[in-house]
Amino acid sequence: MFPGVHGNVTAASGWCAGAARTDSVSTLLVPAQAQGPPYPTPASLILPEDAILTTQAPSQLWTATLGRLQLEVPRPNFETWLKGTQALRFDDECLVVGTESAFAATMLEERLAATISRAVERIAGQSITVRFEVISDADGPSANGIGDRRDERPDKPASQPPDPNSPFGSLPLNPRYTFDEFVVGPSNELAHAAATRVAAEPGRVYNPLYLYAGVGLGKTHLLQAIGNALTSRGMHLIYVSSERFTNDYIRSIQDGTTEQFRAFYRGADALLVDDIQFIAGKAQTQEGFFHTFNELHMGTKQVVVTGDEPARQSLLEERIQSRLEGGLVVDIQPPDYETRTAILREKSKSLQAQLPEDVLDVVASRPSSNVRELEGSLNRIVAYAQMTGTPVTVDVARKGLGDLLTTRQEAPMTPSAVIKAVSEQFGTDSETLKGPRRTKEVSRARHVAMYLLRETSLLSSPQVGLALGGRDHSTVLYAQRKVEQLIETDPELRSIIATIRQRLASQPR
């Protein structure tokens, strides 16, 4: 038992009874039964049976707990929230754990408190209250070597300054795209946390960082926020779209400036590439990116990439997929109602418009797949009110939105409706498309269904495969590419797909 330490596990409460402080525990005996069932925890992180802990009890208890949590918590969550923590002290009835930011402390209390409590209890053999607080400089490094490393820089040669005569250049960053301007919610909190950590420790953690999301969900905002943060610290940054990278690479080959291309892209402290999916199918460009990536990564230079699908589901070459998955892969989901409301509040401030809560509710309650639609709706309401000279009310908001309230509220086409429309067009039935038959006509209809499902619904490739009888996502991607190619050369198929689209458009959703 911990002398002077008792009580229920209340890690989420953030409060501990008593004000007395004891920075160490003189003696702690961990009974054998406290060890619980065997876990494949690394030997260096296990408290030995009948171990006696002296003044290092807080750090040893937390180190052992981290060992167990590493096996129980998904890797991205562990890397983002737990890896940089350290045991600070025992505060009467509390084990005080330090985090690198107030946001991390909040996230641990709100999202992982129950898991942490169970792990601590299993290690200690009794209920222990855990509290989180931000690490101060006075706390110093932890006994396990994990401390606040945000101001540290790796020992490496400084990058070469950009050549003013180089034919290549970085795209400008939007100064509004900062972390302070990014509204955090459950749909994007992990991506935000990973991005801020990369900005604080470029090249040391999450390298590469791959952010993927649909259109307008904030991946470009986070990418440029990293860029703005690094630029403010005087780092040599290159921010490009995949199109710019492709054009630069092709031009370097045509103009015989490949050495300048290499010097420009490989001489940066950090490379940020937006919408990497557009280099898929471009073998030479992928070759150039692959070697550029390797050179930067081996030099501990930070690489951050965004895309629209998980790396393993993209059409990129397998070796590039593997490189991207070797770091941290994080997705951003569409915002929920609360996050949409918070985004609208922040946007209304930037427009210097005081919008009542019921007006924000009208906009936030509309189904919306991305943030840009939200901002566009708000801009439309404010503009309408200004042009008509009326205060913003619910009625004014509805008039300003106009047709958006009817057309934009329509949900994406359901998978069953798409499959039924394709089946009718090809003279078959839905069960046949979902079944094992592989005749030429059925396969053709199934490929068209896969193509249209990807186009008219919000389903991912694996979800489309599941809707069509549990087929693999790679089959869906193949079908999508094949139909896209055939549309360009086959007038008959183009006409068939146009007819199906018209049929779908006439159906209620």
What is the residue whose two structure tokens read 């915002």? Answer: 335
Class in CATH terms, 415-505: mainly alpha
Q: Which residues contact 442 (CB under 8 A, 6 or more apart)?
A: 426, 428, 432, 433
**Among the listed residues 324, 269, 298, the one whose alpha carbon sits nearest the alpha carbon of residue 153:** 269
Report how far residue 28's alpha carbon sits from residue 26's, in angstroms, rounded to the nearest whole number: 7
Report how far residue 339's alpha carbon sits from residue 318's, in angstroms, rounded to the nearest whole number: 36
Q: Is the dihedral of CA 485, 487, 491, 493 positive or negative?
A: positive
- Identity at 96, one-letter amino acid code: V
Distance between alpha carbon 20 and the CA centroid of its chain, in Å? 41
Identify the three-state secondary structure at position 503.
Answer: helix
Does 337-408 carry CATH code 1.10.10.10? Answer: no
Report how far residue 59's alpha carbon sits from residue 77's, in angstroms, rounded to the nearest whole number: 21
Tell me what pLDDT residue 145 has.
Answer: 36
Q: What is the CATH number of domain 189-332?
A: 3.40.50.300
- Beta-carbon neighbour count of residue 106 at 10 Å? 14
Tell me what pLDDT residue 164 has.
Answer: 54
Report how far residue 184's alpha carbon sits from residue 190's, in angstroms, rounded to the nearest whole number: 9
> So where are the chain's domains?
11-139, 189-332, 337-408, 415-505
Tell me what pLDDT residue 161 has.
Answer: 54
**Structure token digits, residue 195:** 């991005």
- Beta-carbon neighbour count of residue 424 at 10 Å? 13
Residue 369, phi then psi, degrees to nearest 5: -90, -10
The answer to whether residues 267 and 236 touch, using CB atoms and an 8 Å cutoff, is yes
Report how far residue 130's alpha carbon sits from residue 96's, in angstroms, rounded to the nearest whole number: 6
Q: What is the 3-state secondary structure (H, E, C) of 453-485?
A: HHHHCCCCHHHHHHHCCCCCHHHHHHHHHHHHH
pLDDT digits (tens, 9 = 90+) for 228-284: 999 998 999 999 999 999 999 999 999 999 999 999 999 999 999 999 988 988 899
Report how far residue 434's alpha carbon sits from residue 420's, in angstroms, rounded to the nearest whole number: 11
CA distances from 194 to 199, 206, 219 (A): 9, 7, 12
CA distances from 16 to 56, 60, 86, 132, 463 (A): 21, 21, 18, 11, 46
User: Which helix or strand (DSSP H or E) is residue 98 part of?
Assistant: strand 94-99
* Overall fold of domain 11-139: GMP Synthetase; Chain A, domain 3 (3.30.300)
Report how far residue 429's alpha carbon sits from residue 419's, in angstroms, rounded to the nearest whole number: 9
Report how far residue 224's alpha carbon sits from residue 272's, in angstroms, rounded to the nearest whole number: 8
- How many residues in total does the chain contain? 509
The reply to whether 189-332 and 415-505 are identical in fold is: no
Q: Is 56 exposed, middle or buried (0-12, 13-18, 19+ CB in 10 A)?
A: middle
Q: At what angle do helices 219-232 and 189-200 cross, to 10 degrees?
A: 20
User: Which helix or strand (DSSP H or E) is residue 420 part of?
Assistant: helix 415-425
Report how far residue 486's alpha carbon sits from residue 466's, in angstroms, rounded to the nearest whole number: 24
| DSSP string covering 330-343 | EEEPPP-HHHHHHH
| CA distance from start to end of the chain | 62
| pLDDT mean for each 10 residues of the chain (509 residues) | 36 40 34 38 42 56 87 74 85 82 75 84 83 69 38 42 67 91 88 92 90 88 95 92 92 91 92 92 91 92 92 86 90 84 82 78 70 80 81 79 51 80 91 90 92 77 86 85 82 84 70
Q: Is 436 exposed, middle or buried (0-12, 13-18, 19+ CB in 10 A)?
A: exposed
